[in-house]
């Protein structure tokens, strides 16, 4: 049985990987930031030497997008420098290295879904820092690095600890007591359920996949407004969704208008996530079961 060392066990994706690993025949050891801070190189080397994993999965990120603009050094430290160092350590110890990236490496101008081979052009510090991490890892250890890009990730009972939840949980909270809510209509995305991403990642690890860049997202596309309408239907929220075009800008910071990712490489190996609508239903089943269990 292969041993996975997971960084980011308290995160949305980390939590799902912990649940799924044994079903895919992996032993998994998960660490949180207090066990291992990936900006501390000596600690990273120590943990890797101690645990001796076959595979290292890094789900840690500095990914509050506006905060990356005001704290670029901190964003670079987690998304670039630490990923660079992890890739070097993995190469040294002959460990397969999986790290996650984002649709924000693209500028959104293509107008059709981005394939793995499309040229990136990030618009803001977050995208720049994640792309720097991708380039560093792939350059340093091309024979052992898998960069998995995803989009609009949500999962877990409380969402992302660093982002204070996730879009699904937060928009439901925001709608409370309101008759109408405005949600942006100009950004087109492929929202992805962390449970589906976790299983696809583990399938990829069990396949003949070659190292490189992969796009793993729920299939299909929608605007944030359309996503909100689907969320409210499942959550039985009566608030009306008013789509608004905010031009993709939050202050001076730009976001890609069209950042749907196309999974071509994993699909060729038979690895495909369900539609975003099915992913959202699976998440609601999880949330409903979680609430029932919490009551008992
Ligand atoms: N969320 C999205 O919408 C989205 C979209 C596209 C791509 N992605 C990418 O997908 C990946 C997983 O995202 P996610 O939403 O699952 O993240 P998440 O829920 O925010 O979890 C991130 C985890 O990283 C840990 N972490 C942060 N800084 C760390 C450090 N310096 N050392 C060690 N651990 C650290 C956090 O630990 P603590 O709990 O201790 O802080 C947390 O457990 C990330 O690479 C992200 O960039 C996410």
- Predicted confidence band of residue 287 (pLDDT cuts 50, 70, 90): very high
- Predicted confidence band of residue 252 (pLDDT cuts 50, 70, 90): confident
pLDDT-above-70 percentage for the chain: 99
Confidence at residue 235, expressed as pLDDT on a 0 to 100 scale? 96
Of 196, 198, 173, 146, nearest to 15 by C-alpha is 198
Mutational test site, ligand 1, from 61, 81, 167, max ligand atoms within 8 Å of CB: 61
Confidence at residue 243, expressed as pLDDT on a 0 to 100 scale? 96
Cβ(61) to ligand 1 under 6 A?
A: yes
Express each pLDDT in 81-129 by its tens digit.
Answer: 999 999 999 999 999 999 999 999 999 999 999 999 999 999 999 999 9
Confidence at residue 295, expressed as pLDDT on a 0 to 100 scale? 75
State mean pLDDT over 152-160. 96
CB 48 within 8 A of CB 26: no
Cβ(276) to ligand 1 under 6 A?
A: no
Cβ(163) to ligand 1 under 6 A?
A: yes
Measured by CA distance, the residue closest to atom 7 of ligand 1 is 102
Please give the distance, rounded to the nearest whole angstrom, from the Cα atom of residue 160 to the centre of ligand 1: 7
Confidence at residue 122, expressed as pLDDT on a 0 to 100 scale? 98
CA 165 to chain centroid, in Å, comes to 13
State mean pLDDT over 218-225. 97
Whether 250 shows a pLDDT value over 70: the answer reads no
- Ligand 1 atom closest to residue 63's alpha carbon, by position in its atom list: 47
Report the predicted TM-score, pTM, of the whole model to 2 decimal places. Answer: 0.97
Please give the distance, rounded to the nearest whole angstrom, from the Cα atom of residue 60 to the centre of ligand 1: 4
The answer to whether 126 is a known catalytic residue is: yes
Please give the distance, rounded to the nearest whole angstrom, from the Cα atom of residue 186 to the centre of ligand 1: 26
Whether 148 shows a pLDDT value over 90: the answer reads yes
Whether 249 shows a pLDDT value over 80: the answer reads no
Give the separation between CA 235 and CA 122, rounded to whole angstroms.
34
Confidence at residue 162, expressed as pLDDT on a 0 to 100 scale? 87
State mean pLDDT over 201-212. 98
Ramachandran bin of 57, using left for φ above 0, alpha for ψ from -120 to 50, beta for the remaining angles: beta
Of 238, 241, 244, 242, nearest to 177 by C-alpha is 238
> C-alpha angle 173/179/185, rounded to 5°?
75
Mutational test site, ligand 1, from 13, 35, 259, max ligand atoms within 8 Å of CB: 13
Express each pLDDT in 225-246 by its tens digit.
Answer: 999 999 999 999 999 999 999 8
CA 36 to chain centroid, in Å, comes to 20
Give the separation between CA 264 and CA 116, rounded to whole angstroms.
7
Confidence at residue 248, expressed as pLDDT on a 0 to 100 scale? 65
What's the mean pLDDT when you consider all of the chain?
Answer: 96
| Percentages (nearest 5) of helix, strand, coil residues in the chain | 45, 20, 35
Express each pLDDT in 266-281 by its tens digit.
Answer: 999 999 999 999 999 9
Cβ(192) to ligand 1 under 6 A?
A: no
Confidence at residue 2, expressed as pLDDT on a 0 to 100 scale? 97
Q: Comparing 20-34, 181-195, 217-231, 236-250, which segment has the lowest mean pLDDT? A: 236-250
State mean pLDDT over 74-84. 98
Domains in the chain, start-ordered, CATH in brackets? 2-295 (3.40.50.720)
What is the CB neighbour count within 10 angstroms for residue 242? 12
**Which of 114, 126, 193, 214 does the annotation list as catalytic?**
126
Mutational test site, ligand 1, from 76, 149, 153, max ligand atoms within 8 Å of CB: 153
């Amino acid at each position: 049985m292969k041993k996975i060392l997971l960084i980011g066990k308290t995160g949305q994706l980390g939590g799902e990987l912990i649940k799924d690993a044994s079903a895919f025949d992996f032993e998994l050891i998960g660490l949180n930031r207090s066990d291992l801070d990936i900006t501390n190189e000596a600690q990273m080397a120590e943990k890797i030497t101690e645990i001796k994993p076959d595979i290292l999965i890094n789900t840690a990120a500095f990914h509050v997008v506006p905060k990356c603009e005001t704290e670029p050094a901190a964003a670079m430290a987690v998304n670039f420098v630490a990923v660079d160092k992890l890739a070097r350590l993995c190469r040294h110890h002959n460990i397969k290295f999986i790290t996650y990236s984002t649709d924000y490496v693209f500028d959104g101008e293509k107008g059709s879904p981005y394939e793995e081979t499309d040229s990136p052009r990030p618009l803001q510090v977050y995208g720049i820092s994640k792309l720097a991490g991708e380039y560093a890892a792939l350059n340093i250890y091309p024979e052992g690095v898998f960069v998995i890009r995803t989009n609009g990730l949500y999962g877990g009972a409380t969402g992302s600890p660093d982002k204070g939840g996730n879009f699904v949980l937060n928009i439901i909270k925001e709608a409370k007591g309101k008759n109408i809510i405005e949600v942006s209509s100009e950004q087109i995305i492929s929202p992805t359920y962390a449970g589906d991403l976790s299983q696809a990642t583990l399938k990829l690890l069990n396949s003949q996949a070659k190292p490189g860049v992969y796009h793993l997202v729920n299939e299909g596309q929608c605007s944030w407004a359309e996503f909100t309408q689907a969320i409210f239907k499942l959550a039985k929220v009566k608030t009306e969704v008013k789509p608004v075009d905010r031009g993709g800008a939050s202050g001076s910071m730009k976001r890609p208008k069209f950042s749907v990712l196309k999974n071509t490489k994993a699909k060729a190996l038979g690895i495909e996530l369900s539609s975003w609508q099915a992913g959202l239903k699976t998440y609601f089943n999880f949330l409903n079961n979680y609430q029932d269990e919490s009551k008992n």
